[in-house]
Structure 1
C-alpha cells in the first residue's frame, strides 16, 4: 500500500479458533461505547441468512438507522424512491450504496453527526466473512466497497473484516487501501497461559476437594502439566476453553464417584 493511500479497510485474518471473533466483538464494543459503531455483522456457516448475503445490506442499513438516527430519513427516502431496495430485485452493490454509504454520507455532509465525528471515524465490523457461502456476493461487496472508498477517500468510515484466508477473499482484499493483519504471526501462548492460570485459580477457590488435594500433593496443575496443556492447545482459544471445560466436568464426574478422590493431575491428557 502506498504511503499516500488512506486505509479504510482492515483485514484481520487467522486460522480457525485463533480468537478472531472475540477480537471483532471487542472492537465492536469499543466503538459502540464511543458512539461510532455504524454496524456489525457476524457471518456463520449453515445458518440461513447469516451464511448468505441476502439480508446483509438491509441489516447494515437497519443498524445504521439506529446508530446514526440522522441517517434514518435518508434511508427512508431511498426506499420510498425505490422499494425494490429491500428485495433481491437490485444488486448488492446498489443496496450498499443507497441504503448504507449514501445515507451515511448525507448525514456527514449536513453536519448532523459532527460531535461524534470529533472522536474519530465510524466503523463497520464484519466477522467470519469466510463463513459466508455466497462467494459471488462477497466478491461484489469487496469490489464495490473498495471502489467506493477510492471515489470518496475522505469519508469518515472504516471497515474491519475478520476471516480465515480464502482465495476469493484474499484475491480481492490484497489491494491498496487495505491494511492486513495476520493473527497467525502472533503467538497467543502467553495469553492462553494467563487465561488457564486464572481459570484454575478460580476453580481452586471454589472447590474444597481441589484445595484438599493441593494441601496433600502440592500445586495443581503442575508446571509440567500446564506446559503439556498449552502445547496440546496449539494456540487455539476455542480448544483452550474446550479443554478447560472438559477438565472441570471430568473433575466433577470423579467427585460424584469418590468424594475423597483427587482431581485429575494431568489436564494436558484430556482430549476433545
Structure 2
C-alpha cells in the first residue's frame, strides 16, 4: 500500500487498494496520516506497482550522468553546486530511465526524500493536485522525526490535502520541515548543554553522552525527484506554479533538499527555469552526447541483439555470424541521434515473433528518413520507423478509430477496452504486428498503453504521421456515442465514467451525424440530473457548474445543428433553467423542504464563455453565479425564491448543520418571473 515504506503503520479504518482490502487499525492515533494518504497518488513513486516494470538504464550505460548526479547529491549546496538540477531532452532521450535509476540508488543509500513520475494517461499523475500530498506522505515515511509533525499538521488543517497546490506546499512541506528544523536546533542545544555539564563533572565517563545528536536522518540533505513535468497538464500555468513552489523550498526557506526535475525542453518550462526565481539555484543538464550517449546506445544495441539471437536461435540458424555486422550497429547508433527511443523500438520490432529477425533488420536498414519538408528534422528516422511498423496494419480505419479513442480517453486505462464495445478478438487481430509501439505483454494486454510518449505525439502531427494522422475530435465523437448509448431512462448512465464524462466528450467531438442524432434523442434535463453525484454529495456545486459550462460549449459548437433536444440545449444557455434542491434540517429525518433556483445568463457572459475568450470559463461561471447570489437579501431565504448555490454563511445564520442538496435539473418555467 505504501510503496517502499518501512516501520510505518496507520491503525484504524478500512482502506481499499488495487491489491485488495487493506485493514489499518488506528492504535497509534495517526488520523492525519490516514487522511493524507487518501489524497496521494499511489502510482507516482519510483517503486509503485502501477509502473512495473519501470524504465531503467541498461547495465553499464549512463554512467557519466549518474555519477554526476551522485556527486551533486552528496556535496553541500553552493554557488558551484546549486540545489536544483533540470535534466532536459527530447522524447526518447532516456530521461525517465535516468530518473528511475537515480531514485533507486538514492533509496538504497537512504537519501531519497520522495519521487513523483508524471504520466498524462494517469488521472492521479497528469495534474499537480496529488503532487505535494504524495511528497508529504513520502517525507513522513523517509524521515521518522517528521511523522508526528505531519500527522499533527493534517489533523489541525484537514482541508490542506484538498487545497490549491500553493497551500498544500506551505502546509504539508514547508511548515512541517521548518518545525523539524526547530526541533533539531532545540535538541542540539540541549545536547550541547548536557555534554558540557557531563564533561565538567569529575569521575564521569565522558562517552556517556555522544559527541553529536543521533538524528542523522533529519539533518542531511535529501533528494526529491520529479520526472516528466511536461506530462502534467498546463491549462492554468501548472508548470509555473509547481516550479515556483519548488524554488521556494531552496531559495526562500533554504531547506535541506536537492531537487531533480526531468522534462522535455518545452518553451514554457524553459521560461520558468530562466526566470529570476531560479537564478543561482538551478543548473541545467542537457541530455546530449556530452554524457557519451552514443557509447551507451552502442552497448545497448549489442546486448539487445545478443538476446534476440538467443530468443530466435532456430529461425536464425542460417544467418552468418557475427550478426549484426559492426557497420550495421554503427549505422543504427548514428540513426539514434543520441536518443534511446530509436534503438529501443528497433530492438522490440526485430524481436517480435512471426518473421526472421535478420529480415526485419534489413527492412530497418533500408528505410529512408521521412521527409517533413524541414531540414534536419530530429524525428525523421524515428518517424520512418513508426511508419514502417504501421504499414503492417490491415484494418486501418478501425485501427485509427481505436487510437483516436485512446488519445481522447480521460479515465483509467484498464476500463477503456470495455468502453470501446469492440470484441476483444477483433482488437487483437487489428493490432497484431504493432507490438513494438505498445507496452508489454501486447497492445490489448497492456490496455493500449503506448511504449513511449513520442508515439502519440507522432500520431497527432499530420506532417509526421501522414496517412496515419489522428484527429482526436473523432475519438471524442466515438466515445461520446458510447457514453450516450449506455444511458437509459430507468437506470441513467451505466457507470461513473460515462456519467461523469459524456458531456466532456460531446463538447470536444467532431459532431458526426450519428452523434447529433443521439444528442437529439437524449432527454437532456433528465440526463443532466442523472449525471450529477448521487446522494448528499457536498461538492455538487462544482459538478453542476462544470456541466453547465460543457452544455454551453456544446450549444455554441453545434449551434447550426437542429433538433428538438438540441433546442433544449439552446434553451438552457439562452433562456435559462431551474434547479430543485432539498434542505435537510438537523435532527429532522423525515420532513424535507424543497426550493428552486431560477437562473438566466446575460448574453455577453454566455457568448464569451462559449467562444473560449475567457481564460477559465468554469471559474467565471462560478463567480457569476456567486455574484447573483450576493444580490439576494438574507431574509429573502424562503421557499419558491431564487436561492444561492453557496449558502454556507446563510446556513450559519439559520443555525443549520446540514446543507442544500441537489435533486433535479429542470427547464425554466415560462412564468418563472411570477414566482418571486
Aligned to 1:20: 95
Of 119, 143, 148, the residue aligned with 1:68 is: 143
Q: Would you say the 8 A contact 1:188–1:235 is kept in 2?
A: yes
Q: Distance in 2 between matches of 1:25 and 1:101?
A: 25
Residues paired across the two proteins, number: 257
Q: Structure 1: how far apart are the matches of 2:336 and 2:80?
A: 39
Change (3 A) 1:254 1:206: closer
TM-score, structure 2 normalization: 0.36
**What SS does structure 2 have at the residue aligned with 1:15?**
coil
1:35 Cα deviation from its structure 2 partner? 1.4
CA distance in 2, matches of 1:152, 1:81: 22
1:163 aligns with 2:244: no
**What is the DSSP-based 3-state SS (H/G/I as helix, E as strand, rest coil) of the residue aligned with 2:159?**
helix
Corresponding position of 1:258? none
Once residues 109 and 29 of structure 1 are traced to their aligned partners in structure 2, the CA distance between those partners, rounded to angstroms, is 30
Superposed displacement of residue 156, structure 1: 1.6
Give the secondary-structure state (helix, strand or coil) at the position aligned to 1:202.
Answer: helix
Q: Which residue of 1 aligns with 2:243?
A: 142
TM-superposed CA distance for 1:137, in Å, is 2.4
Counterpart CA distance in 1 for 2:348 and 2:214 is 45
Q: CA deviation at 1:13?
A: 0.6
The alpha-carbon deviation at position 136 of structure 1 amounts to 1.8
Asked whether the 8 Å contact 1:220–1:265 carries over to 2, the reply is: no
Larger RCO, structures 1/2 (Cα 8 Å, 6+ apart): 1
Q: Residues 262 and 48 of structure 1: is their aligned pair in 2 closer, same or farther, counting only changes over 3 Å?
A: closer
Are residues 80 and 246 of structure 1, via their aligned partners in 2, closer, same or farther at CA, if it must alter by over 3 Å?
Answer: same
For residues 93-149 of structure 1, what are the alpha-carbon distances to aligned partners after superposition, in whole Å with 9 as ceiling and x for unaligned? 22112212332343344349832367x510110000111113522212222322332
**Residues 138-166 of structure 1 deviation map (CA, whole Å, 9 limit, x = unaligned):** 2122223223322233x321111001112
Q: CA distance change for structure 1 residues 148 and 64 in 2, over 3 Å: closer, same or farther? A: closer
Shift in Å, 1:264: 4.8
The SS at the match of 1:180 is strand
d(CA) in 2 for partners of 1:28 and 1:79? 27
Tell me, yes or no, if structure 1 residue 241 matches structure 2 residue 344.
yes
How far is 1:5 from its partner?
Answer: 7.3
Choose 1 or 2 for highest CA Rg.
Answer: 2
Q: CA 1:195–1:4 in 2, change beyond 3 Å: closer, same or farther?
A: closer
Q: 1:5·1:176 contact (CA, 8 Å) conserved in 2?
A: no
Cα distance 1:32–1:122, how it changes in 2: closer, same or farther (>3 A)? same
Q: 1:190 to 1:4 in 2, by over 3 A?
A: closer
* Larger proportion of helix: 1
* Cα 1:206–1:248 shift into 2, 3 Å: closer
Q: In the alignment, which residue of structure 1 is the partner of 2:284? A: 180
Structure 1 counterpart SS, 2:87: strand
Q: Any conservation in 2 of the 1:8–1:178 contact (CA below 8 Å)? A: yes
Give the CA deviation at 1:263: 5.5
Match of 2:335 among 215, 226, 232: 232
Pick closer, same or farther for the CA change 1:265–1:160 going to 2, 3 Å: closer
Q: Who is 2:153 aligned against? A: 78
TM-superposed CA distance for 1:22, in Å, is: 0.5
Match of 1:268 among 365, 371, 376: 365
Residue 24 (structure 1) shift: 0.6
Shift of 1:208: 3.1
Aligned-partner SS, 1:212: coil
Distance in 2 separating the partners of 1:235 and 1:102 = 42
* Distance in 1, Cα, partners of 2:97 & 2:302: 20
Structure 1 residue 211, shift from structure 2 partner: 6.0
1:11–1:162 CA contact under 8 A, matched in 2: yes
| 1:214-225 correspondence to structure 2 within 5 Å | 214=319, 217-225=320-328
State the alpha-carbon separation in 2 of the partners of residues 212 and 206 from structure 1: 12
RMSD across aligned positions (CA): 2.6
8 A contact 2:288–2:338 mirrored in 1: no
**Uncovered stretches (5+) of structure 2, i.e. residues with no partner:** 1-77, 185-212, 368-384, 387-676
Question: 1: CA distance between counterparts of 2:313 and 2:141?
Answer: 49
| Aligned partner of residue 51 in structure 1, secondary structure | coil
Equivalence for 1:191: 296
> In 2, distance between residues paired with 1:107 and 1:151?
17
Query: Mind listing any 5+ residue stretches in structure 1 that lack a counterpart?
Result: 256-260
